[in-house]
Structure 1
Amino acid sequence: MENINFCLACGDKLEVREIGGEDRKACPSCSFVHWGNYSVGVGACVVKDNKILLVRRAQEPGKGYWTTPGGYIEQFEQIRGTIAREVWEETGVRAIVTRIIGLRDRPHSVHDIYITFEMEYIDGVPKPDGVEVDGAGFYSLEEMESMNVADLTAWQVDLALNGGTAGLEEDKTPIRESLKKYGLYRIK
């Protein structure tokens, strides 16, 4: 059971109750239930001239590995904004989301979801930010063979270059007006 003992809503001491078939920490005074710890990360496969934009991580986790640009979403930021921002911050390249091409689901002490986006290159010359990354550029599969490419990144590159045309695309015209405020992705 997770190391959370007090309600994040009202501060009362949490108790363990069966909710939804699982033992969960819940507040006896209000409706708060601690459902678990989750993180949602995003990675970008930006393709230009049959090469993929990669960065070399300057910090842990993954220091020294070449990866796709990416990061974790902010609480009030839609994921398409997160990934465009991360690519720009880490490399100085502007790109826009075209579709979702992969998803990694890693249940762990913090349940980690990582969404891989294919992005259309707009402009910019890759330059590392010097903080999170110390290398950036577009690389071919042949060049990547001699690089320290992270396993997940190798999978992402395969999706981007060999994954076909299917994938989830942003739904810019949802069937209901009220849905336009969300980030919706659908098969086409």
Structure 2
Amino acid sequence: MSINFCVACGHALVTKEIGGVPRRACPVCDFVHWGNYSIGVGALVVRENRILLVRRAQDPGRGVWTNPGGYTEQLESIHHTVEREVFEETGVTAKVDRVVALRDQPRQVHNLYVAFSLRYEHGEPRADGVEVDDVGFFTVDEMEGMNVAGLTRWLVEVSRTSDGHGLSLDHSKYVTSDQNWLFRAHCGTASE
């Protein structure tokens, strides 16, 4: 689907070459439509060597077991999104520990998927009954006999073999805006 009108002023858009790419742009206010993007998040929550999985109740993926997740809202940080999605889908409270993987999926709506490892805090799993019809903590061995999505299997493997490495939430004295959430790799220093 093509965007035809400027979201800033309502004028009809034209196609202009910008940066070597044809883009929809406004000839009146200089608005440029850079494309359609979405940011998805996924959670890897482990309790007593068991991984939190949900069974999808809706398509796509109805009946398939996956890690909990969803999409960010416009004004929501991705680490708050993944914590919210875990709670909404499973009733489990978990807190972000680190980013463990990314999936880039260029398509009609370009999707970036950020997978987080979260620390289990509390709560017993319960399905929300809308997006998810079953939920539980499962061992890797138990997952072998289940219809688990390939991406979820990959994320579990990445998380299990990462030795605690990944990108963790960082608070910087250099970037102080409340609208910036930073994640960084922690590297050893000469004194370590």
> What's the TM-score, normalizing by structure 1?
0.95
Name the amino acid aligned to 2:25.
A
Identity of aligned residues (%): 54
- The answer on 1:103 being equivalent to 2:111 is no
The within-5 A match list for 1:142-157 is: 142-157=141-156
2-structure distance, mates of 1:162, 1:51: 15
Q: 1:175: Cα distance to partner? A: 2.6
2-structure distance, mates of 1:151, 1:177: 37
Q: For residue 182 of structure 1, what is the aligned residue in structure 2?
A: 180
Q: For residue 64 of structure 1, what is the aligned residue in structure 2?
A: 63
Q: For residue 49 of structure 1, what is the aligned residue in structure 2?
A: 48
Name the amino acid aligned to 2:75.
F
Q: 1:162: Cα distance to partner? A: 1.7
Name the amino acid aligned to 2:30.
S
What is the count of residue pairs matched by the alignment? Answer: 186
2-structure distance, mates of 1:78, 1:152: 23
> What's the TM-score, normalizing by structure 2?
0.93
Q: Secondary structure at the match of 1:178?
A: coil
Distance 1:5 1:100, change over 3 A: same
Q: For residue 117 of structure 1, what is the aligned residue in structure 2?
A: 116
2-structure distance, mates of 1:181, 1:113: 19
Regions of 4+ moved over 3 Å: none
Distance 1:181 1:8, change over 3 A: closer
1-structure distance, mates of 2:151, 2:31: 35
Q: For residue 137 of structure 1, what is the aligned residue in structure 2?
A: 136
Q: 1:176: Cα distance to partner? A: 2.0
Q: 1:159: Cα distance to partner? A: 1.4
Name the amino acid aligned to 2:35.
G
How much is the aligned-residue C-alpha RMSD, in angstroms? 1.1
2-structure distance, mates of 1:23, 1:164: 44
- Structure 1, 163-172 or 15-24: larger mean CA deviation: 163-172
Name the amino acid aligned to 1:183.
W
Q: For residue 189 of structure 2, what is the aligned residue in structure 1?
A: none
Q: What are structure 2's unaligned runs of at least 5 residues?
A: 187-192
Name the amino acid aligned to 2:97.
T
- The answer on 1:77 being equivalent to 2:76 is yes
